[in-house]
Amino acid sequence: MHSQPRSAIVVVVVVVVVEVELVAAAVVVVVVVVEAVVVVVVFQCLKRSYINRKSRNSSCNLRCSNDRDN
């Protein structure tokens, strides 16, 4: 009689531990995905600002050279 409740407690503890590990694994996956998205977004923003800066500089250079020609 005494061994049955103890085994039930062990089963409950094992189930809880497994569920906690699954939740932890899911959290890790979500964090990794979010970090990947953040890295991609930041990279795209940096690339866009770099391209915009480059094109602005080239258009400014064109304007300056046109002014000098005139």
- The DSSP code sequence of the chain is --HHHHHHHHHHHHHHHHHHHHHHHHHHHHHHHHHHHHHHHHHHHHHHHHHHHHHHHHHHHHHHHHHHH-
Confidence of residue 1 (pLDDT cuts 50, 70, 90): very low
pLDDT at 70 over 60: no
Radius of gyration of the chain (CA): 30
pLDDT confidence of residue 27: 97
